[in-house]
Amino acid sequence: MTKLPLTLALSALLLSSACTSTVPNDVSPMAQLTFAHMQMVPINVSKINYDSYTRRGATTWDVADDLPTPPDVAMQRYLKKRFRSIGTDGILNVNLQQAQITSTEVPNDNKILSYVPLANVTEYKFEIVVDLESTYLAGQPNAKNTMRFVRKSRIPVDSTIAYREARLQRTLEELMVDIDEALLNVLSGRFGLISERNLPKSNLPVKTELPSLQTNTGTQWNEFKGSVNDMGQRIGDTFEQPQAEPVSTPQPLTPVESEPLNK
């Protein structure tokens, strides 16, 4: 019965905090990931086949269309610009089986703030699955390898659109660094299709910068959440069960000898 009034009070404070915040209107669109200046790596096969079955938007929680560069688009651009065939025989099949990003709302750890929707965070999960298969290489057996990459990022529900887009794109760039390193290691090691001299000297760059403004409600909302956390701590301390005092064992009395007052 006490949750409803408390929630209404928190909502009223939240609205007053949100109404006094300032959000810039001159936010420029986020640049897409093109991998235009990425070093191309030669592969010792006569042909590279690329297939994609990511089925973007197949699930309700897939939010790829909200990103400046969806993960499946980024992966397709990366694969076709990173590798090229230079051999005389053999085929490398690169199958992009999955490249999606899903979102899930996570309640605030504070029990009081968990009843305020804007106090929660949204967890975004990138998941990319790449299947490699080499066939018909003279003197070498066919090889196959499937790799799965996952990276998560938690962003406040009340974050600005600019911050959310930049944070997710930066997370995707960091994930692409892991994917690139793993693919180069497998293709040069287990598959033997990249010579050591052709391996890149440096990793892919991470260029996306995060904007200074993170949330629509600004510092006042952060101060409000901090005060609620402090209040919850004080309430917990107030209603903390007192510890029972230890039962002491009666000590035997020691007789004290005294002299009479009047001798």
How confident is the model over 57-80, as a mean pLDDT?
A: 92
Please give the domain boundaries of the chain with CATH numbers for all domains.
Answer: 32-200 (3.30.160)
Q: CB–CB of 143/117 below 8 Å?
A: no
Length reported for the chain: 263
How confident is the model over 222-251, as a mean pLDDT?
A: 55
pLDDT, residue 59, reads: 82
pLDDT, residue 135, reads: 94
How confident is the model over 6-19, as a mean pLDDT?
A: 49
| Residue % of the chain over a pLDDT of 70 | 70
User: pLDDT class for 17, splitting at 50, 70, 90?
Assistant: very low
Q: Which DSSP string do the residues of 158-198 spell out, in sequence order?
A: TB-HHHHHHHHHHHHHHHHHHHHHHHHHHHHTTS--S-GGG
How confident is the model over 219-223, as a mean pLDDT?
A: 56
| Residue % of the chain over a pLDDT of 90 | 54
User: pLDDT class for 230, splitting at 50, 70, 90?
Assistant: low
Neighbour order of strands in the sheet with 143-156: 47-52, 91-106, 121-135, 143-156
Q: CB–CB of 81/123 below 8 Å?
A: no
Task: Check whether 100 has a pLDDT greater than 70.
Answer: yes
How confident is the model over 105-117, as a mean pLDDT?
A: 75
Please tell me which residue, 243 or 105, carries the higher pLDDT value: 105
Task: Check whether 256 has a pLDDT greater than 50.
Answer: no
**pTM of the full structure:** 0.74
